[in-house]
Amino acid sequence: MARDRYRRSARGNRLGLVIVGTLLLAAGVAAFAAGQGLFGSGLAGTPLLSDTARGILAGPWVPYVAVAVAFVAGFLALRWLLVQGMNDTVGRLYLDRGDEGNVEMSESAARGALEQEISEYPGVRRAKARLTESGDEPHLRLALTLDEDADVARVWSRVREEALANLRSALELESVPAVIRMSMTAPAKNPRRILA
């Protein structure tokens, strides 16, 4: 399932960052300790590279290898960044699949209709929706921004009984799992006084 894939990806990212960070920290602490003479004064006074290593690194092929390694590292870093920017929003919703063809709907059309409907409810300042997981069994993530004086219970009731029912009907699904987050707008810092 898509959710499990994203959880594994996030877990892998955290584990990779912890391993790389731990290795860099250990190398830095070891180099600092060696430079301060904590492993003995002989180690602190010796060069980092032996004569043999310096001879190898003076070869004409070293810059080419360094460029190749830099390209590979840059490609891997770019790929990692692109994966971080991906989200789990589906592109198409499948209303019917059969041998004769598929009936599809754009996720943006369903999302736009839902956002428009909910935005017209009294007390709702903004509605932002996303349909995620899969095109066959989508999940809804809905973020509502309400006015400070909105009737939260009434908005919740209308979303549950009207908007979600309309979405299920449009997608011809018995259920659409939903996560709904509501937040209130902050009151104005310097409200204007209306003089009568």
Query: Would you state the pLDDT for residue 9?
Result: 67
- The CA distance from 31 to 23, in Å, is 12
In the block, residue with structure tokens 């300042």: 125
For residue range 59-89, list pLDDT tens digits in order: 888 888 889 999 999 898 888 777 766 666 6
E strand spans, the chain:
92-98, 101-106, 124-132, 139-146, 178-184
CA angle 8, 13, 14 (to 5 degrees): 100
- The CA distance from 71 to 174, in Å, is 50
Tokens linked to 7 = 């959880």
Residue 147 burial class via C-beta count within 10 angstroms: exposed 0-12, middle 13-18, buried 19 and up: middle
CA angle 140, 145, 146 (to 5 degrees): 125
Query: Would you state the pLDDT for residue 195?
Result: 47
Query: Would you state the pLDDT for residue 194?
Result: 47
Query: Would you state the pLDDT for residue 93?
Result: 73
Tokens linked to 8 = 């594994």
* C-alpha distances in Å from residue 85, one per residue of 20, 78, 82, 175, 190: 21, 11, 5, 29, 38
In which residue ranges of the chain is pLDDT below 50?
Answer: 1-2, 194-196
What is the CB neighbour count within 10 angstroms for residue 131?
Answer: 26
Give the predicted TM-score (pTM) of the model: 0.52
